[in-house]
Amino acid sequence: MHKIWIILKSEFLRRVKSKWFVVATLVGPVILVAVMVLPAVLGILASGSDEKAIAVVDETGVLLERMQAEAEDQYRFVAAEAPLDSLRAAVEAGTYDGYLVLPGDVLTGAGAATYYSVEGGGLSFGERLERLVSRAVEAERLEARQVDAEVLEILETSVPMRMVKLTDEGEAADDTIAYVLVGYIMGFFIYFAMFFYGAFVMNGVIEEKTSRVVEVMVSSVRPFQLLMGKVLGIGAMGLVQMAAWAVLILLLLTFSGSIASLFLNPADFNLPAQASQEEVLAAADFSVPEIEPGLFVWFLLFFLGGYLLYASLFAAVGSAVEQQQDAQGLMMPITLLILVPIIFITFIVESPNTTLSVVLSLIPFFSPILMVVRAAVTDVPFWEIALSYLLLIGGFLGAIWLSARIYRVGILMYGKKPSLRELARWVRYA
């Protein structure tokens, strides 16, 4: 244990004192949030950035006027009476973004509206255009049947829905969206961390093996001690980073009300300009979710367990090869194991208490991500979390034993890259 501690301390201090550690700790959350949020933001900006000029061939004679009245600012519908060939040429020349054909029988439901463009409509644009045409057709058909204004008002009525969560203390606001967001953030943090720190361990092993430093080290320590010291040292560094990020998430949640109030205009909720922050947030139906401190504890514990499990496997891969390019094939099974939770994460969020969700969150290779997500979005019984973590630790002990048997042979083997069958033979060596 003394030798393991020396190696652990050396690996930890050497990395924590570097500049990249400070930069990664500060910039890491920003990059992760950008990866998760930026695509959606860019999609919104792209859908509403430019005004679309659309020529409309309205064979009904009544729908275009209704569409122009209800059209959003970025859509400009223009009546077109030119032949379709001329409209096609105008679209190709850039005069219009596209042209829409509304056949006469679209009012009866027999025909279909068709939009022609060079660049394609895009998902969001196609949905909005279909909604505009449908609303225009609906309004025209209701008016043609001389439906009373009161009936029209009834059809357009929407009922607000409040979600209330039943708890042991009584009733509370249902902050499901906030909990889902926290679950997604925590799950993806652990996902990227296991990949990042696991690859860190693997590259460190490859570097020591290539430089022959490991041959000197194994003359003083056993390969298992060297493996454990390296895995635990880098794991301690990762735990410090994850703890810092957990504190950051907690601070953001604590001050989320103040941050949200900066983007809310009291006038939008019929409130005076001097309305207090509490009044504005209440009018916007915004509430800060109450995240139990225990969730952050489990977040750190499951990260540590997941890291130890996968880092030991990455270390075994690193000991079996001499350069990073050779490790790609051996990393494939490990990569697939890490990707499975990401495939099921949406299902877990939607149905956290189904049998499949419970079983998946108990499997050691998946529990570091899926159990944390479940704990964030719903109340998971303590025994399930405890059992999941015990199984995770058991999985780590099995993985470190397997990896140590590969590591003791691999760090001194050079030349041809071993196959999976040869790695299995290394495990069986006495």
Q: Running DSSP on this structure, what letter comes out for residue 413?
A: -
- Res 280 pLDDT > 60: yes
Residue with tokens 């009012």: 107
Q: How many residues in total does the chain contain? A: 430
Portion of the chain with pLDDT greater than 90, in percent: 6
What pLDDT is attached to residue 47? Answer: 56
CATH 3.40.190.10 boundaries in the chain: 52-153
Alpha-carbon distance of 424 to 20, in angstroms, equals: 37
Portion of the chain with pLDDT greater than 70, in percent: 80
What pLDDT is attached to residue 268? Answer: 67
Mean pLDDT of 386-403: 90
Please give the torsion angle defined by the CA atoms of residues 328, 333, 334 and 336, in that order, rounded to the nearest 10 degrees.
110
Mean pLDDT of 365-371: 90
Q: Are strands 164-167 and 170-173 parallel, antiparallel or unpaired?
A: antiparallel
pTM: 0.68
What pLDDT is attached to residue 150? Answer: 75
- Identity of the amino acid at 406: I
Q: Which of 163, 199, 153 is nearest to 311 (CA)?
A: 199
pLDDT tens column, 65-82: 888 887 766 778 888 877
Alpha-carbon distance of 380 to 378, in angstroms, equals: 6
Q: Which of 318, 297, 307, 335 is nearest to 235 (CA)?
A: 307
* Structure tokens that stand for 395 in this block: 């999985």
Please give the torsion angle defined by the CA atoms of residues 397, 21, 239 and 304, in that order, rounded to the nearest 10 degrees.
-30
What pLDDT is attached to residue 360? Answer: 92
CA quadruple 334, 338, 341, 343: dihedral positive or negative? negative
Distances (CA, A) of 392 to 331, 358, 371, 400: 20, 14, 11, 12
Q: Which fold has domain 52-153?
A: D-Maltodextrin-Binding Protein; domain 2 (3.40.190)
In 192-298, beta strands by DSSP E: none
What pLDDT is attached to residue 393? Answer: 92
- Res 202 pLDDT > 80: yes
What pLDDT is attached to residue 160? Answer: 66
**Cβ atoms within 10 Å, residue 380:** 21
pLDDT tens column, 328-365: 777 888 888 888 888 888 888 888 889 999 999 999 99
> What is the strand order of the sheet 114-117 is part of?
75-79, 52-58, 98-102, 114-117
- Res 258 pLDDT > 80: no
What pLDDT is attached to residue 415? Answer: 67
- Res 389 pLDDT > 90: yes
Alpha-carbon distance of 57 to 79, in angstroms, equals: 6
What pLDDT is attached to residue 172? Answer: 56
Name the phi and psi angles at 50, rounded to 5.
Answer: -120, 150
What pLDDT is attached to residue 390? Answer: 95
Q: Are strands 98-102 and 75-79 parallel, antiparallel or unpaired?
A: unpaired
Residue with tokens 């569409």: 67
